[in-house]
Amino acid sequence: MDTLSEILRTVRLKGGIFLDARFTPSWSVASALTPDDLLPYMAKAEVLCALHYVISGEMYVEVEGEEPLHVKSGELVLLPRNTPHVMSNRPGQRPIDSGELIQPGTNGGLSSIVYGGPGGPLTNIICGYLANEEMRNPLMATLPTVLKVNINEGASRDWIESSVRYGAQQLSDGHLASSSIIARLSELLFVEAVRAYSESQKVHEKHWLHGLKDQYVGRALAALHDRLSHGWSVADMAEVAGLSRSAFVERFTAAMGSPPMQYLAKSRMLLAKELLAERQKSISQVAAAVGYGAEAAFNRAFKREFGLPPARWRDQQAAA
């Protein structure tokens, strides 16, 4: 697994594709769904991440304070913090609330929107929402308000398009067993969008994603995420990176936005949450998996980060 995929795995966005939208001119809809709106599909989350994949046609996405974004067939739009936005066939129209247009699917299948004038070119959009429990997750906080990814330009175009179409059809037919597949597809679409963004020229040189391009910082990140349970010291990381201790700390902090040991501690706690939620390991096993030899020390660190000791946190998640 590459460094970016491993880092994104710790974010643990969970969700799925919930809406098949079909529009004909003229149309303009405002999207501002909240975690409460998606309770029929997922447990309530702190933050939602919205994504829209254009299967056919084209649209404009408008976010307050930014220029309208033109999105064409084969392109994916990601709103990491679910910022209220308007989608339309042309900018400047008065939108209607998308919530008023949503038609529930039969037998628990995919919800839909069919809206617009008679005739005219069809724009077909598949919409998904992913849940994130981390209100202050560093990844989500530092991504831009809206991202656009051209799937047509990527090697993964064929499998993404076919997977989206297949998943949408399965849910439309009421095949609820496929919901886990749809949830996984949404996560993969998110990873694809962030990956494309990380490789673009829009990433600021001090952005943490830029650190993946730095051969020294990237080398250390790959080692950290490959062995999070290792008893890392700054000197160890610097040796892996091939830099002096002071040069490594300066370079890592500039690229990632936090010192190496702080970044390591946060990554360990995010992985610990994932392992606890899966309920496959005991508390002591989770502690060992994230680099804590003593369960008591792990309990203190986890409670300091998330406000509850790990056992209580896991029980609370199970109850929810």
| pLDDT tens figures, 106-134 | 665 667 899 998 888 999 998 877 776 55
- Evaluate if residue 277 carries a pLDDT over 90: no
Alpha-carbon distance 203 to 269, whole Å? 26
Q: What is the pLDDT of residue 250?
A: 94
Say if residues 273 and 305 touch (Cβ distance below 8 Å). no
Above 80 in pLDDT, residue 7? no
Residue 307 above 50 pLDDT? yes
Q: What is the pLDDT of residue 67?
A: 92
Q: What is the pLDDT of residues 24-70, one digit of tens each?
A: 999 999 987 766 766 655 555 555 788 898 888 999 999 998 999 99
pTM above 0.75, yes or no: no
Give residue 178's pLDDT.
47
pLDDT above 70 covers what percent of the chain? 68
pLDDT tens digit sequence for 156-205: 556 666 666 666 566 555 554 445 666 666 677 777 777 777 776 566 55
| CATH architecture of residue range(s) 3-198 | Sandwich (2.60)
What pLDDT does 177 receive?
A: 41
* pLDDT at residue 61, rounded to an integer: 97
- Mean pLDDT over each residue of the chain, to the nearest integer: 80
Neighbouring-strand partners of residue 131: 14, 48
Amino acid at the residue 101: L
Q: Which two tokens stand for residue 36?
A: 């409460």
CATH of 208-319, one of 1.10.10.60, 3.10.20.30, 3.90.950.10, 2.40.50.180: 1.10.10.60
- Domain(s) of CATH 1.10.10.60: residues in the chain: 208-319
- Which residues of the chain does CATH 2.60.120.10 include? 3-198
pLDDT at residue 235 is higher than 90 = yes
Dist CA 220 CA 232 (whole Å): 11
241-275 confidence digits (pLDDT tens): 999 999 999 999 888 878 999 989 988 998 898 88
More confident of the two residues 30 and 225: 30
